[in-house]
Structure 1
Amino acid sequence: MQSIEIAPDARKEAVRIGRSKHDADRVLQCVREIAESAAFRNSQRSGQFLIYIVEQAIAGNFDALKERLIGIELFGRSATYDTGEDAIVRVTASDVRKRLLQYYGQFGEAMEWRVTLPRGCYIPELIHSPQHDKPDTGGTFASTAIEEVPAVAETPQATTAALSHVEALTGRSPLKQGTLTLAIAVTCFASALLTFSGCWFWLGHTTSGSQAPPVWAGLLDPHQPLRIITSDPNIAEIQGLTGQRITVSDYANHRYIPDPSKVSPVSLVFANNILRGDKVAAVDASIVADVAATAQRYDTDVLVRTARAIQLSDLATDGNYVVIGSPLTNPWSSLYLANADFRFAREPSGREYIEDIKPETGEKPQYTPSALGFATGQSLAIVAYLRNPDHRGHVLVLAGLNGEGTEAAGQFAVDAHRMEEALRGCGYTSGREVGNVEILLQLNMMAGLPSHVVMLSCHQLQY
């Protein structure tokens, strides 16, 4: 799994807390309350993990907060165990993040101390909320928030969900105070899935006024919002259930079952039940959080809409967009990938793969995943940065063959260092404006988590 560097201030804060018996006791008390709450009730392992990493952090033992050492010290693995084969630490860390989302969605405003675990690392960030006794959502939470982002996993197994409409416009003033908490309320009603009821993101500093990295420089405009269009996870189920492909024209005209006469009455009723409500994939929530945090650094507002809430006229305008999901889960992405080199295609069985219509030396004409979502194997994803067709602005498409792939694409795109490396590999030099470009990614999957994400190819698109 890709690692990220924690801000030195986060380490300093943990050490400072450890030197104050009062603060250390209060933090540990808060953490134990979280570990004993309903959010962690069904996972003793996750609760122990949370307490362990916080104890080590405030003790200043940051070297102990590495995957192998945690596996050895907390989970009793041998000193030579293979972290590539045994993902217990990564899986538990992911579960802890999800349970923290649930907990803070219910009790976050009343907590004196908050704990967050950034993706790709095991060093917690400890944040003090001095107004905990007088909750004030305008002070503690930034105005960058999604009122209700109900989520279901981007997999065929997620059958029904009750979700509400998503639309939020972000504000910028909290960043000028020095920190940002991104609140995303997430609810998931599916028997095989965890329930999310809140999400928040913290930044240690703002970089307002500095030059945005390549790609983002073309997407972020302080004078207009960055529009994010989340996927429609159940639309893939409908296509699998009915055997009918939904084109972007069908989707735009709300023909989610193009030919009902060819669908059995039972399947038709089931399909209509699936289509109730407006839905967002669980992985989209984390992507929205990361993209919104990036946008906030450069004083750009964010507007989030679900795919099903979009009309074709909404896209026929100037502006910058982030479109999440492949054409199977977000038909709007096919509008922008129609002339791309890497495209999503389907086998007669319905299984998706990625075809390269202009393979360069050493490339294959098609790339097929070795496993479906929530399995162990390899998958693929696309990051495409394109000019907004016939309009001013740019579009960033983040799409995978499954939820893990889409999540990997999102993580890759917000990682400025990796994006710059990819662009150099595509022939772009520093300071040169980025044109239409498409990046093909390969990732490993284990227990629903993407890891070892590598760039297979990068094409400059000539159109």
Structure 2
Amino acid sequence: MKFSPEEIEQYRGVTERVSNGSQLAASPKLREFLNYIVDCALRECPEEASEQQIGVNVFGRKPGYNSSEDSIVRSQARLLRQKLASFFKEEGASEPITIEIPKGHYLPLFKARSIGEVSLPAVASALSLPSSVIAPESRGRISLGIIFILVALAAGLVLGYALPRRTVASAQLHDPLWAPFLSQDQPPLVIYSNPVFRGAPLKDGLRLLPPGTASNAPEDDTYTGTGEAQAIYTLTRFFDRANRDFVLKRSRLVTWDDAKSRNLVFLGASTQNTALAELPTATQFVIRLDENAHGYVSNEHPLAGEPHKFVTDSSDEYAIIALLPGLESSTRILAFTGLTTVGTQSAVEFALDPIHRADLAKRAGLDHNLARPFEALLRVHVRRNVGLDSEIVAFHTR
């Protein structure tokens, strides 16, 4: 189907609003999925929206992978359909265009909502009156009346687009978990890991230099994990919707003079995030390495029935969300750490999901409408280095 430039602009606009909406706030892969298939449709390239192509281009599968054994595209398509339906029923109820993904294929359909869905009998009657029954002296008044109604309808559409976003932003600003970090007083400091590598990237490649290891080779500390990078992107979208800013720094550039009076957000395990390792606050879930340098989570103060350590298998990953007291009494710290970079990304996505963050606050309890400090241990189900879903397996209040 050939789309006009006006249609393309309109369809890209509604896609952007869906991507920025609360339904996809904590689902960067679903956003990427949606934008990819919309782009295929608008470029009139349906062959690029096949299950194989989506698996390769969106979910990082190798070309020719066995899609009958790996159902990532089908399972994520089901979830995306649910998210789209929820968006257009609630937050996007005033959208004149909806996006649907029909079952059986992945190319989206753009459907105009019928004007009949809005009850406007007076306008319809006025517009349908034949001119022969309208007295000449009344036509001017009727025309002005219709113009007034149409202007009012246009204003209503504008408000319809704006109000849902304002509602979302307001909900974020008063969220028990995130409210301190969205304060206008001072933007929080987001600190991401940047471990030290040795070697030359364009010559013999880079190798991770374990903490405390001496080396005569050239050192490079300008890299971070892909999960941390994705987490920064996800946080940026979340803060943008609340019309708030944050200051971003890599851990090796943080000075405690800058950090002590701010709310802090840490991304990455303390083994790779030196600023997090220097925190004076002791945590109850700690990432450690065994004799084979495999990571596990040590449960420093296990509750009844909890193991002393959590060890992964081939399809699982562990991640930690810790809400801690800040360096000053008026500040707080949020730390997101995973055994791998995938875990860090999954922890951030979990804490940004409206349902999950409400559950975290409920478990922690409230103090002056804010979540009390806690530590949550997540089990992340991973397929091909992609975190699919997460669940809380241990929860400690502080």
Could you say whether these structures have the same fold, taking a TM-score greater than 0.5 normalized by the shorter chain as the test?
A: yes
Indicate how the Cα distance of structure 1 residues 448 and 234 shifts in structure 2: closer, same or farther if over 3 A, else same. farther
> Once the 2 structures are TM-superposed, how far is the Cα of residue 314 of structure 1 from its aligned partner?
3.0
3-state secondary structure, aligned to 1:332: helix
Q: Residues 227 and 446 (structure 1 numbering): CA distance in 2 closer, same or farther, change over 3 Å?
A: same
Change (3 A) 1:431 1:303: same
**Alpha-carbon distance in 2 for matches of 1:397, 1:55:** 38
Q: Distance in 2 between matches of 1:21 and 1:428?
A: 53
- What is the number of residues matched between the two proteins? 283
Equivalent residue in structure 1 for 2:265, among 322, 341, 355: 322
AA matched with 2:349: Q
- Cα deviations by residue, 1:157-184 (Å, 9 ceiling, x for unpaired): xxxxxxxxxxxxxxxxxxxx9999xxxx
The yes-or-no answer on 1:380 pairing with 2:318 is yes
**For residues 404-428 of structure 1, what are the alpha-carbon distances to aligned partners after superposition, in whole Å with 9 as ceiling and x for unaligned?**
101101111111211111332x252
Structure 1 position 350 matched with structure 2 position 288: no
Structure 1 portions without partners, runs of 5+ = 1-17, 30-47, 60-64, 93-121, 127-176, 181-203, 247-256, 261-267, 372-376
Question: For the Cα contact (< 8 Å) 2:375–2:397, is it kept in 1?
Answer: yes
Amino acid at match of 1:300: R
Q: Which amino acid aligns with 1:285?
A: A
Q: 1:99 aligns to what?
A: none
Shift of residue 57 of structure 1? 8.4
Q: Which has the higher helix share?
A: 2
1:430 deviation in Å?
9.8
Structure 2 distance, partners of 1:442, 1:390, is: 31
**Distance in 1 of aligned mates of 2:359 and 2:235:** 19
CA, structure 1 residues 353+51, in 2 after alignment: closer, same or farther (shift >3 Å)?
closer
What are the within-5 Å matches in structure 2 for residues 127-276 of structure 1?
Answer: 205-206=165-166, 207-210=168-171, 211-234=173-196, 245-246=211-212, 257=213, 260=214, 268-270=215-217, 273=218, 275-276=219-220
**Mapped pair 1:370 → 2:313:** yes
- Opposite residue 407 of structure 1, the aligned amino acid is Q
Q: Provide the identity percentage.
A: 17
Distance in 1 (CA, whole Å) between partners of 2:326 and 2:197 is 25
- 1:443 Cα deviation (Å)? 0.8
Flag structure 2 segments of 5+ consecutive residues without an equivalent.
13-32, 56-62, 78-105, 111-158, 200-206
* In structure 1, C-alpha distance between the alignment counterparts of 2:36 and 2:235, rounded to whole Å: 29
Q: Give 3-state SS (helix, strand or coil) of 1:285's partner.
A: helix
Residue aligning to 2:237: 293
Spell out, residue by residue over 1:220-275, the C-alpha distance to the aligned partner (whole angstroms, 9 max, x if none).
211211211111144699xx866x644xxxxxxxxxx4xx4xxxxxxx344xx3x2
C-alpha distance in 2, partners of 1:307/1:51? 33
Q: Are 1:406 and 2:389 counterparts?
A: no
Q: TM-score, length-normalised on structure 2?
A: 0.58
Corresponding residue number in structure 2 for 1:166: none
Structure 1 residues 339, 20: closer, same or farther in 2, change over 3 A?
same
The answer to whether residue 278 in structure 2 is matched with residue 340 in structure 1 is no
* Paired position in structure 2 for 1:393: 331
Structure 1 residues 378 and 293, CA gap change in structure 2 (3 angstroms) = same
SS of residue matched to 2:371: coil
Q: 1:415 maps to which residue?
A: 353
Distance, in Å, in 2 between the alignment partners of 1:421 and 1:57 is 39
